[in-house]
């Protein structure tokens, strides 16, 4: 895919797209074979369940609000100006338990199939369907923990 010079204005989206994925609003800002970057609005009480990107490194730069990132049993809190690093192959879950909306910029490298995945997940609420489609696009959700 060609990467062209230019600016994606703050109020605009790359290719005019925006998606609702797991209750978050994702607005793509840049997409090439090498990288995919999107702006996210993450309402309080929403989350992305623990998952693995086997072929991509991922990061989040927090603009406003706060997020908690779970790497297994380790929970890390991030606020405005913090960068969260999630290397490929490492399971991570993203949670907003802050009491307020969080906004941030996500990125993955290489882009692989994530842009297409978000297009397919737009508005899907069934967890089994979300998991199935994600696996076809190189994102592997972990099974939920056993109820004790």
For residue 143, being part of any structural domain is answered with: no
Q: Are 3 and 35 in contact (CB under 8 A)?
A: no
CA–CA distance, 14 with 3 (Å, rounded to integer): 12
Range of the domain at 90: 26-136
**Three-class SS of residue 105?**
strand
For residue 148, being part of any structural domain is answered with: no
What mean pLDDT, rounded, does the chain reach? Answer: 94
Task: Say if residue 3's pLDDT is above 90.
Answer: no
For residue 11, being part of any structural domain is answered with: no
Confidence of residue 15 (pLDDT cuts 50, 70, 90): confident
**Three-class SS of residue 116?**
helix
For residue 62, being part of any structural domain is answered with: yes
58: β partners? 86, 108
For residue 37, being part of any structural domain is answered with: yes
What CATH number has the domain bearing residue 132? Answer: 2.60.120.10
Residue predicted with more confidence, 95 or 148:
95
- Per-residue pLDDT of 87-106, as tens digits, reads 999 999 999 999 999 999 99
pLDDT, position 6: 87
For residue 9, being part of any structural domain is answered with: no
pLDDT, position 141: 95
Task: Say if residue 147's pLDDT is above 70.
Answer: no
Please state the rounded mean pLDDT for residues 57-64.
98
pLDDT, position 146: 60
For residue 58, being part of any structural domain is answered with: yes
Q: Are 24 and 40 in contact (CB under 8 A)?
A: yes
For residue 2, being part of any structural domain is answered with: no
pLDDT, position 4: 81
User: How many other C-beta atoms lie within 10 A of the C-beta of residue 108?
Assistant: 21
Task: Say if residue 145's pLDDT is above 90.
Answer: no
pLDDT, position 1: 66
Number of domains in the chain: 1
Task: Say if residue 125's pLDDT is above 50.
Answer: yes
């Amino acid at each position: 895919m060609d990467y062209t010079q230019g600016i994606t204005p703050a109020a605009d989206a790359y290719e005019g797209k925006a998606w609702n994925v797991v209750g978050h609003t994702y607005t793509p800002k840049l997409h090439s074979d090498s990288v995919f970057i999107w702006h996210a609005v993450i309402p309080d009480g929403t989350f992305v369940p623990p998952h693995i990107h086997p072929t991509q490194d991922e990061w989040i730069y927090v603009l406003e609000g706060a997020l908690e990132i779970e790497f297994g049993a380790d929970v890390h809190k991030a606020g405005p100006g913090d960068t969260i690093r999630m290397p490929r192959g490492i399971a991570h879950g993203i949670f907003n338990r802050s009491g307020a909306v969080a906004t941030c910029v996500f990125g993955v490298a290489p882009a692989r199939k994530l842009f297409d995945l978000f297009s397919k997940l737009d508005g899907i609420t069934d967890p089994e369907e979300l998991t199935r489609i994600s696996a076809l696009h190189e994102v592997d959700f972990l099974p939920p923990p056993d109820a004790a």
